[in-house]
Amino acid sequence: MTNKTRIFKWLFMGGLLAAHGLPASFAAEEGDSQDEKWGDVWEEEWDEEESSNWSWAGFVEAGYGQRLQTDPLFENKETLNELRGHLETDYKGEDVDFSFRGDTWYDGVTDEMELDIRELAWSFSAFGNTDFKIGRQISTWGTGDLVFLNDLFPKDWQSFFSGREDTYLKAPANSVRVTSYFDAVNVDLVWTPVFEEDRYINGERFSLFNPIVGGSIGGTDVVNPVEPDENLGNSEIALRLYKNVEGTEYALYGYRGFDKQPVGITNTLQPTFHRKDIFGASVRGSIESGLYNVEVAYHDAVEDSEGSDPFVKNSQWRFLAGYEAEVATRLTLGLQYYLEWTKDYDELIANSPFPQYEAEEKRHLLTTRVTYRTAKDKFVWSLFAFYSPTDDDSYLRPSLNYRFSDEWLFTIGANLFNGQEEHTFFGQFEDASNAYVRVRYQF
């Protein structure tokens, strides 16, 4: 750990405590003695640098984004305006490891200080073939690139649409993860005792389409869903069985929990999360000079097996096929085809109070990722494009990263939505199209 890293570590921790309620009297009373203590700690750490089991890293980042057109539901055109600090640390012990990832930031769009513990977990091994990770953590699996079939772990769509780094799309949850390795198959189990929903679009930062009013709603948090009771009967369980055979990975998936977004409606017309079971499989391997992936999932609407309840989202089959290859030096191209096939579609249309706003029975989606990296990743140009021929809408994510040095990183990009209809998946966010810039100092 360098001297600059130590300085930023203490600055970050000091800022975090101050931002979240460190009593002023504490600093006044401890004053010089605290400085002396910290100085002693620094000296001790300098002396123990080579033998420490701790590692530290982090960054400070400023981000700003703005709509490219006017949304009548928002006076403020800003979609991103924040100063963020991130700190992460790992402890490697003989028997137990510890990890922490945390962010604190001032959000100028909502005018609030925020704190997000993204990881606070203990890891250890037992029985000779099993790894445990207990605590707050981010989990992910599946083969899709920004398309999720069997990955029902929470996502942060507000961060994704506003221009924060892509890593913030994955949101944390309080879980227990157990991974066991056997000759026949490996087993991965994630148990989340209390249901963790997505950080979905709720109208606070971006407006969204509401079929009841037949238009967009937003300007503030307008989605107040009825959430599942916090008891063990409503916990989430995700299971993966996987095996790598001669370079090809085969996997089976299972999930029991709820829709991650409030797409259901209660009898009192409030949004809610209905129960959902998922079964799926995937294969990922190599062909020629590229990598292919195929994945399938069945999303079972447990509370409406006939598909006739308009307040419960119907069961669906979902299918994904993708291929990625380096088509020229430092230039990679990825292509994906994705299908959502709604079951009992005739019953859905017959019973829906708003059949004109229902998606097509078979919703097709095509995606493309193009990435070009210069030598030593000094510049990284990227474009990710979604296009649905059935919805006739699209979503483009161009970005450019410039690494000035090991410490300084600059990013510009945009989120560009387009659609012919106001109610389609991407079309509803057309007024949310935005451009953003981020400047990061990492240590």
The first and second tokens of residue 383, run together, are 């474009």
Cβ contact 292:323 at 8 Å: yes
Residue whose pair of structure tokens reads 């129960």 in the numeric block: 275
Low-confidence ranges of the chain (pLDDT < 70): 1-50
Q: Domains of the chain, with CATH numbers?
A: 54-442 (2.40.160.100)
Phi, psi at 288, each rounded to 5°: 55, -125
Handedness of CA 7, 13, 16, 22 (dihedral sign): negative
Judge residue 127's burial from the number of C-beta atoms within 10 Å of its C-beta, 0-12 exposed, 13-18 middle, 19 or more buried. exposed
Percent of the chain with pLDDT over 70: 89
Of the candidates 220, 299, 231, 219, which has an alpha carbon nearest to the alpha carbon of residue 264? 299
Residues in CB range of 170: below 8 A, 6 or more apart? 138, 140, 153, 154, 155, 156
Cβ contact 315:187 at 8 Å: no
Q: What is the pLDDT of residue 269?
A: 87
In whole angstroms, give the CA distance from residue 336 to residue 293: 9
The chain-wide mean pLDDT, for the chain, equals: 90
pLDDT tens across 124-144, in order?
999 999 999 999 999 999 999
The first and second tokens of residue 150, run together, are 């069997």
Q: What is the pLDDT of residue 377?
A: 87
pLDDT tens across 38-92, in order?
455 545 555 555 678 999 999 999 999 999 999 999 999 999 999 999 999 999 9
Number of neighbouring beta carbons within 10 Å of residue 18: 12
Q: What is the pLDDT of residue 170?
A: 97
Judge residue 235's burial from the number of C-beta atoms within 10 Å of its C-beta, 0-12 exposed, 13-18 middle, 19 or more buried. middle
Q: What is the pLDDT of residue 265?
A: 92
Q: What is the pTM of this model?
A: 0.86
Q: What is the pLDDT of residue 376?
A: 83
pLDDT tens across 234-287, in order?
999 999 999 999 999 999 999 999 999 999 999 888 999 999 999 999 999 999
